[in-house]
Amino acid sequence: MDKVTLAELDKVKNDKDVVVLDVRTEEEFEKNHLEGSVNIPNGSLNAKLEELDKDKDYYVVCGSGMRSMTATTILKANDFKAHDVEAVEELAKKD
């Protein structure tokens, strides 16, 4: 699975059809997140699939890249347009 770079995400993140989906825990999200991103923790994603819009492009982020890869796989398996964003180190900081 190809990773989208932060530079590529930056070019599209303001498009009305793009959703930046942060799949870290609520606690991690509250401490730090990308502006405009939506939080659905990885463990809750399957239960929330019906709430998501299949017409949107989901750019999935986390701190290390592991959870985003898993979430992107789940989204694609359920016919969503999903893109795995490379590890977002600023989200991994434990301030």
d(CA 17, CA 69): 21
Let me know: does 26 contact 42? Beta carbons within 8 Å: no
Residue 95 annotated to the active site: no
Q: Parallel, antiparallel, or unpaired for β 81-85 and 18-22?
A: unpaired
The residue ranges of DSSP E strands in the chain, in sequence order, are 3-4, 18-22, 38-39, 57-61, 81-85
Annotated catalytic residue within 9, 61, 62, 75: 62
Active site residues: 62
